[in-house]
Amino acid sequence: MGVGFAALNTGNNLLYMVLSLLLAFLVLSGVLSESSLRGIRVRRRIPSELEAGSDGRVVLEVTNELSRFVSFAIVVVDRAAWQTGPPVEVGRAFALRVGAGETVRRHYRFRPAQRGYLHFEEFQVFTRFPFGLFSKSMRISAPQTALVYPEIERVDAGVLLGSPHGTGEQVPAPGGVGADAVGLRDYADGDPVRRIHWRASMRKRELLVREVDSERDAEFEVRLRTRDVSEGDAFERSIRWAASEVSALLDHGTRVSLRTDRHFIASGDGPRQRARLLSFLALVRTDDSEPHVQGPGDDAVEALAAVA
């Protein structure tokens, strides 16, 4: 504006040329910024498990659908909201160059602050290319829902199974001394060293232990009190401990069930049972505030496991 005012008042041709050059920079910046954003599409890949209090790696696929123009300096901001509350920024990624017809992958680290449903809503894509004079942006709607598991603490399965040493030699039943061996399985933390089958382990080049009848048939029930308790830190700590027990016992290879004051989920093992139990714990509320949660084992809980 100063150069334009001086050019009009003095009639100096050089000032007019400088003013024209500055205006050309403004126009060129707008055109190039628009071309960098045109044809940009973003896709989000959420990890199969998100855990409160732990970092998750969210992958963003940035695609330039134009066949002739290259996009530069693309910034993608991912926005999400919890069950209640406005959408907020949960992460961002930067792509310096996205070639014509090319897809680049970037990721950001995200640490959920609480359990429950997390609703990803949209991307805000912007660029300051080429001169940094302006920031041009656009919004891309990308609704997606993720279920965040409760925070899981590291728990020694040997302690839960009744071992006084955790990972020591003495582990009472299940899996105690005197049970009949029925096969071999991979070594897990907490298994006594005396049950390692050294000959088979040398052949396979990894530790194998003898599986016994009492271990194969073992079932453990994790209990969570939901009646006559109030929502708050104490209840959340109980959920965190229940999730930690479930995770440790299932990782040890035992069958685990879950019981609250209102619900019961039958015992099972493996990844499917883990998803089923942790999905329930991700959404469970006290008995006075969980009308949306149906009885375990019904279609509602199966749907939660499918989401997980």
With pLDDT > 90 as the criterion, what percentage of the chain qualifies? 42
pLDDT reported for residue 175: 43
Kindly state whether residues 143 and 189 are assigned to the same domain.
no
What is the pLDDT confidence band of residue 132, given thresholds at 50, 70 and 90?
confident
Tell me what the mean pLDDT of segment 293-297 comes to.
38
Check residues 159 and 122 and name the one with the higher pLDDT: 122
Q: Is there a domain that residue 130 lies in?
A: yes
- Say whether pLDDT at 198 is over 90: no
Strand partners, 231: none
Kindly state whether residues 101 and 197 are assigned to the same domain.
no
Q: Is there a domain that residue 13 lies in?
A: no
Per the CB < 8 A criterion, the answer to whether 157 and 122 are in contact is no
Q: Which of 149, 183, 212 is the last residue of a domain?
A: 149
Kindly state whether residues 273 and 194 are assigned to the same domain.
yes
Q: Name the least confident of 18-27, 99-108, 192-201, 229-238.
A: 192-201
d(CA 243, CA 236): 11
Tell me what the mean pLDDT of segment 104-129 comes to.
94
| Sign of the four-CA dihedral 243, 249, 254, 260 | negative
Query: How deeply is 157 buried, as exposed, middle or buried, from its count of CB atoms within 10 A (0-12, 13-18, 19+)?
Result: buried
What is the helix, strand, coil percentage profile of the chain, to 5?
A: 30, 35, 35
DSSP annotation of 174: S
pLDDT reported for residue 270: 85
d(CA 240, CA 263): 18
pLDDT reported for residue 268: 87
pLDDT reported for residue 237: 92
**Count of C-beta atoms within a 10 Å radius of residue 94:** 11
Range of the domain at 128: 37-149
Check residues 294 and 83 and name the one with the higher pLDDT: 83
Per-residue pLDDT reduced to its tens digit, 256-274 = 999 998 899 998 888 899 9
Per the CB < 8 A criterion, the answer to whether 105 and 92 are in contact is no
- Say whether pLDDT at 29 is over 90: no
Tell me what the mean pLDDT of segment 186-202 comes to.
76
Kindly state whether residues 220 and 117 are assigned to the same domain.
no
pLDDT reported for residue 280: 95
Tell me what the mean pLDDT of segment 169-180 comes to.
40
- With H, G, I as helix, E, B as strand and everything else as coil, classify residue 308: coil
Query: How deeply is 206 buried, as exposed, middle or buried, from its count of CB atoms within 10 A (0-12, 13-18, 19+)?
Result: exposed
Per the CB < 8 A criterion, the answer to whether 124 and 137 are in contact is yes
Q: Which of 149, 173, 207 is the last residue of a domain?
A: 149
pLDDT reported for residue 55: 92
Q: How many domains does the chain have?
A: 2
Please name the residues in contact with 76: beta carbons below 8 A apart, sequence gap of 6 or more.
42, 60, 62, 92, 93, 94, 95, 106, 123, 124, 125
- Say whether pLDDT at 110 is over 70: yes
Q: Which ranges constitute the DSSP H helices of 162-295?
A: 198-204, 213-216, 233-251, 270-283
For residue 107, the domain's CATH number is: 2.60.40.3880
- Say whether pLDDT at 215 is over 90: no
pLDDT reported for residue 293: 39
Per the CB < 8 A criterion, the answer to whether 162 and 252 are in contact is no
- Say whether pLDDT at 161 is over 90: no
Average pLDDT across the chain, whole number: 81
Residue 266 to residues 8, 210, 222, 275, Cα–Cα distance (Å): 85, 27, 11, 13
pTM: 0.69
pLDDT reported for residue 236: 92
DSSP annotation of 127: E
Kindly state whether residues 243 and 164 are assigned to the same domain.
yes
pLDDT reported for residue 300: 42
- Say whether pLDDT at 178 is over 60: no
Q: Which of 122, 149, 176 is the last residue of a domain?
A: 149
Per-residue pLDDT reduced to its tens digit, 58-80 = 999 999 999 888 999 999 999 99
